[in-house]
């Protein structure tokens, strides 16, 4: 509690305790809010107030609990299977009578929180440096092998980008005139063999 809130707690108007009661209720609300939000002691201070971080932590904790439950459910299923294999006729009789077989209940998997990831990415335009914003590969390219054919078809100078007369940028690294023509280039298929 800071000094200004302490002085507000000490003051009262015309002998009434209204301002004091209001400040105490605010303090109680802040304490309740801190109890509701889960965070690790080692977390950075900036993360402790981040709603996306708290939603992600809550989901991770829930998924971890569901994982533990799934492991125990799997053990119970193995035990039920072994019991059914020991006495298959008794198992079928229980099924026909609709008795409880002590099978685990179905779990509803936790939904991932909706997080706007663009808010956490850099606003720097990497395309001016010759680097795409997201360096991920498309699944279609990997399946069809299009990624390797694209690299073969490009000339060596396709990845160069000159930003002054003496040096240029090659795939994110500065290439000076003294460097070879294959500086910072991907290996061809033949070179990889």
pLDDT at residue 29, rounded to an integer: 58
* Count of other CB atoms within 10 angstroms of residue 192: 8
Please state the pTM of the whole predicted model: 0.43
pLDDT 10s digits, 35-61: 556 556 666 666 777 788 888 888 998
pLDDT higher for 98 or 54? 98
Residue with tokens 């009262």: 12
Cβ neighbors of 186 (< 8 A, separation 6 or more) are 151
> What is the distance between the alpha carbons of residues 150 and 184, in angstroms, rounded to a whole number?
17
Burial 19-54 (b: 16+ CB within 10 A, else e): eeeebeeeeeeeeeeeeeeebeeeeeeeeeebeebb
Helix axes 18-36, 3-10, angle to 10 degrees: 140
Per-residue pLDDT, averaged over 50-77, amounts to 90
| Better-predicted residue by pLDDT, 67 or 163 | 67
Whether 92 has a pLDDT exceeding 90, the answer reads: yes
Residue 56 to residue 113: CA distance in whole angstroms:
6
CA atoms of 54 and 39, how far apart (whole Å): 7
pLDDT at 87: 93
Range from 37-41, 66-70, 138-142 that averages highest in pLDDT: 66-70
**In whole numbers, what is the pLDDT of the chain averaged over residues?**
70
- Predicted pLDDT of residue 190: 79
The model's pLDDT over 105-132, given as tens digits with 9 standing for 90+, comes to 999 888 889 888 888 776 666 666 666 6
Rounded to whole angstroms, the Cα distance separating 47 from 65 reads: 23
pLDDT band (50, 70, 90) for residue 25: low
CB 1 within 8 A of CB 27: yes
Tell me what pLDDT residue 70 has.
94
Residue 14 is predicted with a pLDDT of 45
- Domain residue spans in the chain? 3-36, 45-119, 126-192
- pLDDT band for position 192 (cuts 50, 70, 90): confident
């Amino acid at each position: 509690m800071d000094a200004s809130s302490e002085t507000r707690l000490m003051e009262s108007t015309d002998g009434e305790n209204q301002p004091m009661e209001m400040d105490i209720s605010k303090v109680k609300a802040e304490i309740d809010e801190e109890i509701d939000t889960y965070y690790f002691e080692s977390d950075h201070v900036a993360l402790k107030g981040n709603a996306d971080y708290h939603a992600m932590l809550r989901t991770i904790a829930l998924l971890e609990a569901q994982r533990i439950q799934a492991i125990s459910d799997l053990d119970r299923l193995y035990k039920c299977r072994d019991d059914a294999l020991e006495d298959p006729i008794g198992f079928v009789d229980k099924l026909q009578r609709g008795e409880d077989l002590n099978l685990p209940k179905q779990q509803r998997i936790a939904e991932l929180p909706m997080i706007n990831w663009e808010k956490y990415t850099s606003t720097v335009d990497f395309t001016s440096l010759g680097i795409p914003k997201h360096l991920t590969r498309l699944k279609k390219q990997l399946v069809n092998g299009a990624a390797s054919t694209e690299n073969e078809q490009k000339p060596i100078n396709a990845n160069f980008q000159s930003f002054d007369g003496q040096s240029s940028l090659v795939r994110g690294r500065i290439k000076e005139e003294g460097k070879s023509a294959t500086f910072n280039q991907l290996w061809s298929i033949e070179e990889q063999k």
